[in-house]
């Protein structure tokens, strides 16, 4: 595993990072095993968040005793200084450390988020002070909104930007990355598998490796998954015509608007199983109608309970028209059901 410079920050990190969401679903011992396996294979960069339930605690346990050998990034979703500092102290405690290498303002998506964090007494002021106090080495920011991410980068206030990047969602490669590079920022790519929509690690990382100054942070939930991705880094990167055609096939299949399964929209007050129901079209394109109807029945039937309250729309960082997409998926599910009933 190659090491790379993290922008002009002075930090050196492994060219592949570790995203801290999937370890949430593992028990503590298993999570520690997976984290230590990644470390043994050369991964030194670990990204988590206060919002990722017990992910920080598991990371803290895995790297207790070798803290200085790993670079840890975490985040606060809080917009005011008091709560952001409370989350920072909690992160330090959970991760058994007295400093965070990279502390990120999490998911600054809209103007109101930016106004809140930069207001007097806001989160930014608090983390700048925490950096002066030595609790944070670098301050970064994350966003899912391209125009906001570009604005955040151009403020020159941050050492890193984290944004979704994969061969389906590659808009960041232009203005965002160009601006970040000019300012010597570290660039972190979340969702190299497009939230699970790309199920081919080979082409996913062939694409990512074309950007050697961008660190992808796939989530891992097993040693096997770690080994699979690390093995792709063992040889020079060659993207063939066939690879490009395979990438194009995914792009055509998913279109511009698709659910990344981040689950920020949940829970739905009416119990609609939004994430699996949003995936019906893609499931149906990869399986037979009979299998998809059976496999997704519960989620699809839950759509009937939607009362169009709009709560999920406000929460979706990709600003997806969730109700319309659920309706379109439900129509397709119904069509499949009717076709099956005629057989
Ligand atoms: S709009 Fe429908 S799916 Fe979305 S939160 Fe409200 S009830 Fe749930
Ligand atoms: S609908 Fe939006 S918020 Fe919900 S899982 Fe999909 S991408 Fe995430």
Residue labelled with tokens 């922008």: 7
pLDDT at 288 exceeding the cut of 90: no
How much distance in Å is there from the Cα of 325 to the middle of ligand 1? 12
How much distance in Å is there from the Cα of 144 to the middle of ligand 1? 21
pLDDT value for 253: 84
Report which bound ligand comes closest to the CA of 318.
2
Where is average pLDDT lowest: 108-117, 166-175, 276-285? 276-285
Q: Ligand 1: residues within 6 Å at CB?
A: 268-270, 272, 274, 306-312, 322-323
How much distance in Å is there from the Cα of 261 to the middle of ligand 2? 5
pLDDT value for 261: 83
pLDDT value for 287: 80
Taking alpha carbons only, the member of 252, 247, 192 closest to residue 219 is 192
Q: Are 244 and 207 in contact (CB under 8 A)?
A: no
What are the tens digits of pLDDT across the range 22-54? 999 899 999 999 999 999 999 999 999 999 999
Write 11-14 long-range contacts (CB < 8 A, 24+): 11/71, 11/101, 11/102, 11/137, 11/138, 11/186, 12/44, 13/44, 13/45, 13/71, 13/186, 13/215, 14/42, 14/43, 14/44, 14/45, 14/215
Assign 197 a pLDDT band (cuts: 50, 70, 90).
confident
Residues 6+ apart with CB under 8 A from 105: 75, 76, 84, 117, 123, 124, 127, 139, 140, 141, 142
pLDDT value for 257: 84
pLDDT value for 339: 93
Rounded to 5 degrees, φ, ψ at 238 are -130, 120
Q: Are 19 and 217 in contact (CB under 8 A)?
A: yes
Return the ligand 1 atom nearest residue 270 CA.
Answer: 7
Q: Ligand 2: residues within 6 Å at CB?
A: 259-265, 274-275, 278, 315-316, 318, 320, 322
pLDDT at 172 exceeding the cut of 90: yes
CA distance 321 to 2: 41
pLDDT value for 260: 85
Mean pLDDT of the chain: 95
Where is average pLDDT lowest: 57-66, 114-123, 206-215, 314-323? 314-323
The residue whose CA has the least distance to atom 8 of ligand 1 is 268
pLDDT at 16 exceeding the cut of 80: yes
Residues 257-278: what's their mean pLDDT? Answer: 91
pLDDT at 256 exceeding the cut of 80: no
Residues 216-237: what's their mean pLDDT? Answer: 96
Give the residues across from 14 on adjacent strands: 3
Top mutation candidate among 258, 262, 319 for ligand 2, by most atoms within 8 Å of CB: 262
pLDDT value for 255: 80
Residues 232-236: what's their mean pLDDT? Answer: 95
The residue whose CA has the least distance to atom 2 of ligand 2 is 316
What are the tens digits of pLDDT across the range 90-127? 999 999 999 999 999 999 988 999 999 999 999 999 99
Q: What is the pTM of this model?
A: 0.88
Q: Are 18 and 47 in contact (CB under 8 A)?
A: yes
* Percentage of residues in the chain having pLDDT higher than 70: 100
pLDDT value for 262: 83
Q: Are 41 and 1 in contact (CB under 8 A)?
A: yes
pLDDT value for 181: 98
Return the ligand 1 atom nearest residue 271 CA.
Answer: 8
pLDDT value for 235: 93
Where is average pLDDT lowest: 49-53, 60-64, 87-91, 206-210? 49-53
pLDDT value for 117: 98
pLDDT at 247 exceeding the cut of 90: yes
Residues 142-167: what's their mean pLDDT? Answer: 96
Top mutation candidate among 278, 307, 329, 330 for ligand 1, by most atoms within 8 Å of CB: 307
């Amino acid at each position: 595993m190659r090491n790379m410079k993290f922008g002009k920050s002075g930090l050196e990190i492994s060219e592949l990072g570790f995203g801290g969401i999937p370890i949430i679903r593992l028990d503590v011992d298993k999570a520690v095993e997976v984290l230590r396996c990644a470390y043994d294979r050369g991964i030194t960069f670990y990204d988590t968040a206060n919002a990722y339930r017990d992910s920080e605690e598991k990371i803290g346990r895995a790297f207790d005793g070798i803290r200085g050998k790993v670079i840890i990034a975490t985040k606060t979703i809080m917009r005011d200084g008091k709560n952001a500092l409370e989350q920072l102290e909690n992160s330090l405690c959970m991760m058994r450390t007295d400093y965070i290498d990279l502390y990120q303002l999490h998911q600054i998506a809209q103007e109101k988020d930016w106004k809140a964090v930069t207001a007097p007494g806001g989160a930014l002021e608090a983390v700048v002070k925490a950096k002066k106090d030595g609790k944070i080495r670098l301050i970064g920011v994350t966003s899912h909104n391209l125009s906001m991410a570009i604005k955040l980068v151009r403020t020159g206030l941050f050492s890193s930007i984290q944004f979704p990047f994969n061969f389906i969602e590659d808009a960041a490669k232009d203005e965002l990355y160009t601006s970040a590079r000019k300012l010597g920022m570290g660039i972190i790519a979340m969702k190299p598998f497009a939230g699970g929509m790309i199920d081919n690690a080979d082409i996913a990382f062939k694409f990512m490796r074309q950007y050697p100054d961008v660190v992808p942070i796939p989530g891992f939930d097993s040693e096997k998954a770690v080994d699979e991705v690390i093995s792709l880094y063992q040889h020079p990167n060659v993207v063939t015509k066939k690879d490009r055609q395979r990438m194009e096939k995914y792009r055509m299949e998913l279109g511009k608007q698709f659910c990344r399964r981040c689950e920020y929209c949940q829970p739905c007050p009416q119990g609609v199983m939004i994430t699996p129901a949003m995936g019906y079209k893609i499931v149906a394109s990869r399986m037979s109608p009979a299998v998809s109807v059976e496999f997704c029945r519960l989620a699809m039937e839950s759509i009937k309970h939607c009362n169009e309250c709009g709560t999920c729309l406000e929460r979706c960082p990709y600003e997806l028209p969730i109700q319309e997409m659920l309706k379109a998926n439900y129509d397709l599910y119904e069509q499949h059901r009717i076709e099956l009933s005629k057989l």
